[in-house]
Structure 1
């Protein structure tokens, strides 16, 4: 179908279920017409969309493109936009802030996510992955989204933060809804998550433990208020949401790709040491965050040869930009031996994903366990239509129905 990028009613609508079902082909057509397009988002708002790799790097690091929507709140409400503003349950965090606030908030959390700190989690991640496989191995089939790629990252981030196990299903539901299309339902989910975490933080204040939330409370209470109450809650929210949702979709997309390319799965079974490098190819091939949250032009600027006016929003299609990072002739081919799979799946610039080392480690460990434990893993019905998350900024499979030879419990 032809792609139109003209005015208003003729604008391409991105982020809908229809667009996501054929996202890579649609992004390719947009890239063929230029690096930047004026489009309509799923919530009905008009935004600029970057689809090219080099321009995406420029936009993600542009000092005049702010992550903070509050200066434009009145303008956004007048336009009927459902951008997450103060009171939405997603404020006071580093994702929605600019320097110097962003710099300070990121510094307070960053030590928990250094490569060295994350590497110490590898044995526990492997243990959790094996426990999940133990449950489904005797069954001979499962939906891996509900049985493996979903619960594993949630278990890891909850153990890191100190969230009780019996609360994880609720957190997973709230975060999945919270990452959907901006809407009243999204706001309700985020507010429910806020309510839960507010109570949990109060509990940990009276009975601290050896976990990240307790350490953040100590920063708030003991270090001359460097972390305000609003920032403490906002940081807890973003750690739960961003700390696992990206990895859920990284794993889901990787498993879907391997099921579609069994020869590549066989290669990785025979060469498991290649999995860390293969994770980079999975991130390039199908980035788990499809588009970034909106950035706001703080002044009139020129981007990709187009004039962006103050107050207009710019989003970056990380899925498109990552596919465009290498040679065009091989962009749509999965190759786990690719020597330098450049991508923007974790962003670029000061907002580069803080949890990238953890996501990479979880991806490599989880896939190694899955491929080793279920050596004949295959689609339950190879002809069935693939279903992707229908709305929101993320990209991942709704379900991964698979079959394999049933095994006796270990």
Structure 2
């Protein structure tokens, strides 16, 4: 294509707060559009739904960052830990992806996840018990963050009290703005995270339990189905991916309701709509933006545009999920929407393994907030909300007020 790449302006607070006007323009300009994305990287955006759906299942588009021609993608990874960082099922292709996913898939089946509902409800109520009497809360730090962190920590068998540390390291490694991240900061965060993971693997090896981490250690030590780098990488991926997007789903969903009072009232009156509401939050303003990265193994034609070998292809789910060719009135939040095959969890062999858990946590969390926090409202004007820049989207803070109440 002859057009110059468009810059996604992560230094502009207005864009970070509401990227959708620019996203809409990019989709209208064409199905494939070169762009400068977070970290200053060059990518080819796939902006329309049908093309994105096909691209997510296209074997010519690799998940392995080593297939990328842009050396900066590897350079963003910690220098001495690159092998570990690319050994996750998120960044591998078959047959390695098939083997790695099989090791953990049983922990995330719909039936197994449904069994977690009572414990998720218990954690939810305990967190809300702390704020219900006060009439005020910051729903990210007080609620949306500690809930999924506690759930995944218990699932893996790691101490939930360490959540502040691994949240800080995760932010250093994953949060992206307009410029390339500082490799020294990333290296330091990854070394601390690896030391943390190694320590808990050793502790779990000495005292195994009925948890996913013990099962992975057994797969490494006795079954030879994981090598050491893969064990470290899998633990890191499950710990981080197990909470970070769910934080954004919960906080972003509540923010969407608070800025759409008619939908808030409808969901309060009809809690049976919670499953549909979660799908609509994922479609309307999901936790990943603009989308999902792949790397062209060869020259690939997408919607009549030839994408060169080695190029970064960003399947822009946040743009495609508002495609009017696929969704009726896509710019409107509608929690009664039925035909909602959004791309927020991906598609194909890399479809999000934790989707059932994220959906359940979102339903329990948001449903309980609406039930226990009457007269819930933003404590600041919507224009004063701050949002996370680059790649992972959600409110950084969500200050709210409500009518104080008793416990229960």
TM-score by length of 1: 0.92
Q: Secondary structure at the match of 1:280?
A: helix
Preserved CA contact (<8 Å) 1:287 1:322:
no
Instruction: Give the CA deviation at 1:305.
Output: 1.1
What is the CA–CA distance in structure 1 between the aligned matches of 2:346 and 2:128, rounded to whole Å?
31
Instruction: Give the CA deviation at 1:221.
Output: 1.4
- Aligned ranges 1:1-400 → 2 under 5 Å: 6-7=3-4, 11-14=5-8, 16-18=10-12, 19-72=15-68, 75-77=69-71, 82=76, 87-88=81-82, 90-181=85-176, 183=181, 184=183, 185-223=185-223, 225-324=224-323, 330-382=329-381, 384-391=383-390, 393-400=391-398
Preserved CA contact (<8 Å) 1:43 1:81:
no
How big is the alpha-carbon RMSD for the aligned residues of Structure 1 and Structure 2?
Answer: 2.1
Preserved CA contact (<8 Å) 2:149 2:160:
no
What is the CA–CA distance in structure 1 between the aligned matches of 2:370 and 2:170, rounded to whole Å?
28
Q: Detail structure 1 runs of 4+ shifted over 4 Å in the superposition.
A: 78-81, 83-86, 325-329
What is the CA–CA distance in structure 2 between the aligned matches of 1:81 and 1:218, rounded to whole Å?
33
What is the CA–CA distance in structure 2 between the aligned matches of 1:291 and 1:190, rounded to whole Å?
25
With over 3 angstroms needed to count, the CA separation of the structure-2 counterparts of 1:240 and 1:92, relative to structure 1, is: same
Q: Secondary structure at the match of 1:170?
A: helix
What is the CA–CA distance in structure 1 between the aligned matches of 2:358 and 2:126, rounded to whole Å?
19
CA displacement 1:75-127 (0-9 Å, x = unmatched)? 43379963678724523110010000000000111000000000000000011
Preserved CA contact (<8 Å) 1:39 1:47:
yes
Does 172-181 or 113-122 show the bigger shift? 172-181
What is the CA–CA distance in structure 1 between the aligned matches of 2:79 and 2:256, rounded to whole Å?
36
Instruction: Give the CA deviation at 1:262.
Output: 2.0
Preserved CA contact (<8 Å) 2:297 2:309:
yes
Instruction: Name stretches of at least 5 consecutive residues in structure 2 with no aligned partner.
Output: none
With over 3 angstroms needed to count, the CA separation of the structure-2 counterparts of 1:193 and 1:83, relative to structure 1, is: closer
Instruction: Give the CA deviation at 1:202.
Output: 1.2
Q: Secondary structure at the match of 2:384?
A: coil
With over 3 angstroms needed to count, the CA separation of the structure-2 counterparts of 1:277 and 1:104, relative to structure 1, is: same
Q: Secondary structure at the match of 1:31?
A: helix
Instruction: Give the CA deviation at 1:213.
Output: 0.3
TM-score by length of 2: 0.93
Instruction: Give the CA deviation at 1:384.
Output: 4.3
Instruction: Give the CA deviation at 1:170.
Output: 0.9
With over 3 angstroms needed to count, the CA separation of the structure-2 counterparts of 1:166 and 1:262, relative to structure 1, is: same
With over 3 angstroms needed to count, the CA separation of the structure-2 counterparts of 1:315 and 1:187, relative to structure 1, is: farther
With over 3 angstroms needed to count, the CA separation of the structure-2 counterparts of 1:215 and 1:47, relative to structure 1, is: same
Q: Secondary structure at the match of 2:175?
A: coil
Q: Secondary structure at the match of 1:248?
A: helix
What is the CA–CA distance in structure 2 between the aligned matches of 1:319 and 1:243, rounded to whole Å?
20
With over 3 angstroms needed to count, the CA separation of the structure-2 counterparts of 1:325 and 1:195, relative to structure 1, is: farther
Q: Secondary structure at the match of 1:234?
A: helix
CA displacement 1:362-403 (0-9 Å, x = unmatched)? 011111111000021001123542321023x11101111100
With over 3 angstroms needed to count, the CA separation of the structure-2 counterparts of 1:210 and 1:328, relative to structure 1, is: closer
Preserved CA contact (<8 Å) 1:180 1:186:
no
Preserved CA contact (<8 Å) 2:67 2:295:
no
What is the CA–CA distance in structure 1 between the aligned matches of 2:209 and 2:339, rounded to whole Å?
41
Instruction: Name stretches of at least 5 consecutive residues in structure 1 with no aligned partner.
Output: none
Preserved CA contact (<8 Å) 1:160 1:212:
yes
Q: Secondary structure at the match of 2:38?
A: coil
What is the CA–CA distance in structure 1 between the aligned matches of 2:397 and 2:206, rounded to whole Å?
40
What is the CA–CA distance in structure 2 between the aligned matches of 1:267 and 1:407, rounded to whole Å?
22
